[in-house]
Each structure stands twice: as structure tokens, then as C-alpha cells.
């Protein structure tokens, strides 16, 4: 496996990211529908906005893919009329960079669910730092901030970690990913493990 990105890798990453950009726009309706419920139920759903990096990386498995995927997904979301405007691009860069740092820490050689979860947590941390920088959550009292953080981090683990990992595993089982990278016997052995 070559380390550098080929044109095919870039195009597949962008197609994945654009698909998730559309999901992100649609997910905004779910996010806003849960906002009035309170207890930061909307923050639990926030984890979906980190999924593109993990899905793209676990399919392509090369350096730079997670960052590219989040930037492209944020760009797609912006072009489709995101209610958050240009800030989605900044969030996409930070979230993608934080996810990429996790894959880099494992030298782009670990493809286990624990890495997906750590990447989701890192992307979530990036989003929380951006929220602090934009003054979105700095005024929350301690109990409310704690509830906010728990909801966002749990949602990130579920959607961007666990769901992303198993989505890629399902795609691998169907053979779709063989066009980008052939599935190895090790990949199939991981599918059999629980």
C-alpha cells in the first residue's frame, strides 16, 4: 500500500465527503428538532458531524484522508446552505485535523474500533474548543456545561466512532471497498470478531 494519495483516493474521499455533506444538512433538522427538548439532547446528535473523517479514513486508510474528508464535507454542507454559514468550514478544518492527529499517532496502521472512537473523541474535542473560541458555551454554569459535554462526547462516540466503524465493515463485507483497496484476510477475520 502506497502512503501518498492517488487521484482515485482523493476523488473517492470527496465523493464520501459530499454524501456526508448532504447528510449533515439533513441532520441539522434533527438537531434543531431536539433543541427544545432540553437536557442537551441536541448535543447528543452532534456526533454525526464528525463521521465523514472516520468513514473516509477507514475506507482509504492513507494519511490526510480524514482532514480532506471533513473539509470537503463541511464545504458541501456550506454550499448546500448550512444555517451556520462559513463557520462550518472552520469547524470542518479543526475537526478533521483533530481526527487526523489520532490516525497519525497510530502511524496510519491501526484500524480497530478503539481508534475510530478515539478519533471521534478528538474531533469532538476540536468542536468544543471551537465552541469556546466562538463564545458558544463559555457562559454555561458548571452542571449545564457538564451535561453538554457528556451528551456531545457520547454522541460522538456512538455516531462518529461506532457507527462509522461498522458502516465501513458492512461496506467491506459487500465488496464495495475492493475498488479502492482490496480487503485482506485480516479484514475478514476482524468481521468475525465481536
Q: List the CATH number of the domain containing 42.
A: 1.10.1760
Q: Is 139 a member of any domain?
A: yes
Within a domain: 1:
no
* 180 within domain boundaries: yes
Please state, for a pLDDT cut of 70, what percent of the chain lies above it: 92
Bin 110: left if φ > 0, else alpha if -120 < ψ < 50, else beta. beta
Cα–Cα distance measured from residue 43 to residue 34, given in angstroms and rounded to the nearest whole number: 9
Which residue segment(s) compose the domain that 39 sits in?
7-192
Instruction: Give the per-residue pLDDT at 190.
Output: 64
Please report, for residues 26, 49, 140, the alpha-carbon distance to residue 160 in angstroms, rounded to integers and kept in the order given.
16, 8, 25
Q: Residue 71 falls within a domain, yes or no?
A: yes
Query: What is the per-residue pLDDT across 96-118, written as a single tens digit (0 to 9) for each?
Result: 999 999 999 999 999 999 999 99
Q: Where residue 35 falls among pLDDT bands split at 50, 70, 90? A: confident
Q: Enter the pTM of the model.
A: 0.88
Domains held by the chain: number: 1
In a domain, 155, yes or no: yes
Amino acid at each position: 500500500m502506497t502512503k501518498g494519495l492517488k487521484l482515485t483516493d482523493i476523488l473517492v474521499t470527496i465523493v464520501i465527503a459530499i454524501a456526508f455533506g448532504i447528510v449533515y444538512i439533513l441532520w441539522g433538522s434533527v438537531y434543531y428538532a431536539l433543541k427544545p427538548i432540553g437536557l442537551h439532547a441536541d448535543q447528543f446528535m452532534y456526533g454525526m458531524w464528525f463521521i465523514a473523517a472516520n468513514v473516509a479514513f477507514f475506507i482509504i486508510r492513507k494519511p490526510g484522508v480524514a482532514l480532506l474528508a471533513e473539509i470537503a464535507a463541511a464545504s458541501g454542507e456550506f454550499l448546500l446552505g448550512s444555517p451556520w454559514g462559513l463557520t462550518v468550514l472552520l469547524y470542518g478544518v479543526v475537526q478533521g485535523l483533530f481526527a487526523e492527529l489520532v490516525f497519525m499517532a497510530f502511524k496510519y496502521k491501526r484500524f480497530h474500533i478503539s481508534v475510530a472512537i478515539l478519533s471521534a473523541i478528538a474531533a469532538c474535542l476540536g468542536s468544543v474548543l471551537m465552541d469556546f473560541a466562538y463564545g458558544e458555551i463559555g457562559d454555561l454554569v458548571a452542571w449545564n456545561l457538564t451535561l453538554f459535554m457528556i451528551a456531545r462526547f457520547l454522541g460522538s462516540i456512538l455516531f462518529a466512532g461506532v457507527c462509522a466503524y461498522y458502516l465501513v465493515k458492512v461496506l467491506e463485507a459487500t465488496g464495495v471497498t475492493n475498488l479502492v483497496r482490496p480487503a485482506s484476510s485480516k479484514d475478514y477475520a476482524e468481521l468475525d470478531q465481536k
